[in-house]
Structure 1
Amino acid sequence: MHEIWTVVHAERDALVQDLENLPAEQWATPSLCPGWDVHDVLAHLVDDAKTTYFGFVRQFAAARFDFDRYNNNAVARERADDPRRTLDAFRAVSHRTTSAPVPKATRLVETFVHGEDIRRPLGIKREYPVDHVVAALRFQLGTGVSTGGGKERAQGLRLVATDSGDDSGIDFAFDHGAGPEVRGTALALLLAVSGRPVAPNELTGPGVPQITKDGGINHG
């Protein structure tokens, strides 16, 4: 768990640095989350970092146990009028270790997927630690779409991460499932199973149409 938080804190710091000099007009850029701009996603990450076990239970009940309502309420609560203030709030909570009552691997999913929800539309590139991206991918493949995972999107497919294994210089290989193959980086596979769009050349194989079809993105 300590290792997960070390990664999460480093990635939060990196996101702050990437957004420090973002021009004012770019904060309204649509993110990869339908209906949310990049400012909204950052506000969601502020709430995610601040959330505690009992705080989540209280706010989820107030949202009548509806995840979309819960997330939208959180964005409205944490989204300042000035995006710079939201970024300051994110910086202030970036090294917290509080969490909703969910498996800790979700912290990695939130960090990588929402980081790309913001970065990709803004044209910002980042290299993430492959082993931890694979950990997030494994979690998503074991979690249903209804609770923010991507298990159903990958059913009947073989997923192969091209940036793991001996040929990539990484000492482990990611090869999951059986069926029509989908090959790509661990990050591209993570985004696809999480319902995010990827560039046309990021994934290859006969299983690509299935994994990239509209799957109903969950903001969480």
Structure 2
Amino acid sequence: MEAVMCDSDPYWSAVRATRLRIADLLEELAPAEWEHESLCRGWRVRDVAGHLALVPTITTWDMVAVAWRARFSPDRINTVLARRHGSRDPADLIAAIRTHADTRRTAKVLDTRNALFDAIVHGQDIALPLARQFPVPAEHSREALRRVWAMGWPFRAERRLAGLSLRATDSDWAVGDGPEVRGPSLSLLLLLTGRTACLDTLHGDGVDRLKSSHATR
């Protein structure tokens, strides 16, 4: 998947495969697991599923309609919609994710270049707190890393991780300068998107700095 673009067939094949595997994972969950807290702060597993079911069909109007209630904060708009759709029956959410696995669109105010990393990261948001496995091909995580590093808001990964050298051990992705943080592409993707559950899978002189910064927050 070298230099994958968001309008390419390989890119959308990766998105489709990830969405379908998330549906498979959700289908295995017990009722109590749907209510479990995810890695996405403030979201239960069912809220993450609601978000994933909604993203391929959401419209700008859907977002505008809840903007006042969410105090016009993009993060709060996302949360309101995730919780609203997450309240649906699990079978309906799974069916929606499967039905729209091939969909290549989203709201005009959003960006389809985010579709792959969004699915990959939210798959981990569900799986890791439940001690379940959700492996991701390294080349898919690499493309997601490239997008998150380049995009700035909302993760601001380049600024937040300034002064560190980041290197994937299973792909050719490497950025930055300074004490090294190395590990699987998927672990680095979680780091870039603000998840700390990956820290024990990372190595290098820069990891202690990361752990210290999170311990003081």
Q: What TM-score results when the alignment is normalised by the length of structure 1?
A: 0.83
Q: Which residue of 1 aligns with 2:106?
A: 99
Unaligned runs of 5+ residues in structure 1 are: 165-172, 216-220
Name the residue aligned to 2:126: 118
Give runs of aligned pairs for residues 120-135 of structure 1, distance below 5 A. 120-135=128-143
Structure 1 residue 42 displacement after superposition = 0.6
CA RMSD of aligned residues (A): 2.3
Matches within 5 A, 1:141-160: 141-144=149-152, 146-160=153-167
Shift of 1:6: 1.1
Does residue 58 (structure 1) correspond to residue 57 (structure 2)? The answer is no
Question: Which one is further off, 87-96 or 29-38?
Answer: 87-96
- 1:33 Cα deviation (Å)? 1.0
Residue deviations 1:45-75 (CA, integer Å, cap 9, x gap): 11212124x4466347554531122112212
Provide the residue aligned with 1:12 in structure 2: 19
Q: Structure 1 residues 69 and 25 mapped into 2: Cα distance closer, same or farther (>3 Å)?
A: same
Local SS of the residue matching 1:139 = helix
Deviations 1:131-159 (A, max 9, x none): 22111112212233x42442222211111
Q: Secondary structure at the match of 1:126?
A: coil
Aligned to 2:185: 186
Q: What runs of 5+ residues in structure 2 fail to find an aligned partner?
A: 1-6
Structure-2 separation of matches of 1:132 and 1:199: 17
For 2:176 and 2:155, how far apart are their aligned partners in 1?
20
Contact 1:49 1:97 in 2 (8 A): yes
Contact 2:142 2:173 (C-alpha < 8 Å) held by counterparts: yes
* 1:106-130 superposed Cα distances (whole Å, 9 cap, x missing partner): 1111011111001111222132121
Counterpart-to-counterpart distance in 2, 1:102 and 1:42: 18
Q: How far apart are residue 15 of structure 1 and its match?
A: 0.9
Q: Report the CA distance between 1:190 and its aligned residue.
A: 0.6
Amino acid at match of 1:86: L
